A = this chain, B = another copy of it.
Amino acid sequence: MTKQSQELTQKDTRERILDAAELMFMQHGYDGSSMRTVTSEAGVNLAAANYHFGSKEALMQAVLRRRLDVINQERMRLLDEAEAKAGGKPLKPSVIIDCFFGTLLRVAADQKAGGETFLRLLGRTITDPSDFIRTFMSSEYADVLERYKEALFRSLPDVPKAEIVWRFHFMLGATSYAITGTDSLRLVTDWQVDEGVAEQEENLLPRLMSFLLGGLRAPLPKIEISVEEAASAPFVK
């Protein structure tokens, strides 16, 4: 059997498992989902999941990788493009933020039948307690995060780097929580009964963008920085 035909025959089962796993992991979390519910939801045999992916952990990684690769490649491409166009000059913060967070929302919302689901899965995954997930996400994001941090440092030369790292951190949190959608605190209750899901995404992006930029460019807090702390501040290279 050739490689090409393998992929064709596997594609059905593999992708059905990935789709079902994406949905179940989003709805019930990694620990809350079982291989049995995933495979039965996918309409395939239980053993097929272990045959194609090896283990539940590997399945989770495959679910995440399928979408994250696309998103992170697009993030890199857009930042390269913007920096090339700027010709050595620092980028505007709004451009950087849009490349990073805007890409996430746009790409994830674009992909038919799964983008929305993945977006919410990602929001939960970022705070997932499982060690292997945190390790995986860390390695998966290392390059792109380093790239964007450097871009922000150049973009905001007067802001301490430690402060930028903190605010990037806060922005990630606001975004991850925003896209989780199902508001655990029911802050937003009667939600889009008449309208489609797409419309929510459309409006989420500009709203979130305004918030993130406002936070990123907020006045610096007044903190007494001790000498020792300044020396050990993160990422002051």
A residues at B contact (CB < 8 Å): 26-29, 31-32, 123-130, 133-134, 137-138, 141-142, 145, 149, 163, 165-178, 180, 182-195, 199, 203, 206-223, 228-229, 232, 234-235
- CB A178 to nearest CB in B, in angstroms, measures 6
| Structural contact, A234 and B189, CB atoms closer than 8 A | yes
- CB A29 to nearest CB in B, in angstroms, measures 4
| Structural contact, A127 and B217, CB atoms closer than 8 A | no
| Structural contact, B28 and A129, CB atoms closer than 8 A | yes
Partner of A124, one of B127, B141, B223: B127
Question: With a CB–CB cut-off of 8 A, which chain B residues contact A193?
Answer: 232
| Structural contact, A187 and B165, CB atoms closer than 8 A | yes
| Structural contact, A188 and B169, CB atoms closer than 8 A | yes
Bound complex: CA A119 to CA B172 (Å):
18
Shortest beta-carbon contacts, A-B, top 7: A173-B177, A214-B218, A31-B31, A29-B129, A206-B221, A215-B215, A210-B221
Bound complex: CA A225 to CA B166 (Å):
33
| Structural contact, B203 and A214, CB atoms closer than 8 A | no
In the complex, what residue of chain B is closest to A171 when comparing beta carbons? Answer: B174
In the complex, what residue of chain B is closest to A205 when comparing beta carbons? Answer: B221
Bound complex: CA A228 to CA B195 (Å):
9
Known contacts A211-B167, A214-B214, A186 near B127 by CB under 8 Å: no
Question: With a CB–CB cut-off of 8 A, which chain B residues contact A31?
Answer: 29, 31-32
